[in-house]
Every structure is written in structure tokens, then in C-alpha cells.
Amino acid sequence: MMETLRYGKVKARKAHVCSFCGCTIPVGATYWRSAHKANGELYDWKSHEKCAELVDMLNMEGDEGVTGEDFYECITDTFGEMWDEMDPEMAESKDFVIPEFSKQRDFVYNHLKAKEETK
């Protein structure tokens, strides 16, 4: 069982690493920070606002919470699906280079946002 002790948005006074995407949270950025207790151990979770939003938008949250691995898998899967839908020819081409993870994440994010706006 995972318990959330504290949860809130804070401003980064030093650079952190996002627990979801593994990218840097730069100084001055607002990010989500939470403290959890699982199996008797305390740990901190830090994430970009964007990554926390993605977890919501893609309904990643399970009973045990979302790990960085789950996040990675979900984003790369979703990216693949979106790309297939938009440009199947390109997606099937062996010359197509899959962009780095942070770009995939941004693509998925922007795509979902655009969809939300046209609803």
C-alpha cells in the first residue's frame, strides 16, 4: 500500500530530476513534489507539471501509482499509436528515426492538448 503524506506544487530552488521522464527540472520551474510512504519506507517524488498532467490525461494511475518505467512505456506506446494514425507511411518507413524520449513526450502532450481544445 502506498500512502501519500504530502503533495503540492513548489518552485525549484535547485535543479531536480523528474521521477517520471528522467529529464531535468530546471531552477525556477514550478514542479510537483510529494512525499510517500510505501512498505514502511519514505520517499520523495518530483515531477514536471507536464508529466503529472500526462499521467492524468492518459489515465496511467493504477493502484500502486505510476513508476518511471510505466510512464516511459505508456508515452512510447501512445507516441507510436498517434504517429501511426497521423502518418502511417512515415511510421512504417525503416528510415524513420524515432525521436528521443523527451520529444516523444512533448509530442504526445501537445497532441492531447490540441485534442482537448477541439472537443
Q: Which residues form the interface with Zn ion (CB under 5 A)?
A: 18, 20-21, 48, 51
- Report which secondary-structure segment, H or E, holds 102: helix 101-118
Please say which residue, 17 or 42, places its beta carbon nearer to Zn ion: 17
Please say which residue, 75 or 83, places its beta carbon nearer to Zn ion: 75
Please say which residue, 18 or 108, places its beta carbon nearer to Zn ion: 18
The closest residue (CB) to Zn ion is 18
Give me the phi and psi of 77, to 5 degrees please.
-60, -50
Buried/exposed code over 95-115 (b: 16+ C-beta within 10 A; e: otherwise): eeeeeebeebbbbbbebbeee
Q: Closest approach of Cβ 2 to Zn ion, in Å?
A: 20
Please say which residue, 51 or 74, places its beta carbon nearer to Zn ion: 51
How far is it, in rounded angstroms, from Cα 111 to Cα 89? 19
Q: Closest approach of Cβ 86 to Zn ion, in Å?
A: 24
Q: Closest approach of Cβ 20 to Zn ion, in Å?
A: 5
Q: Decide: 42 and 35 in contact? Cβ < 8 Å.
A: yes
Q: Closest approach of Cβ 9 to Zn ion, in Å?
A: 14
Q: Decide: 27 and 12 in contact? Cβ < 8 Å.
A: yes
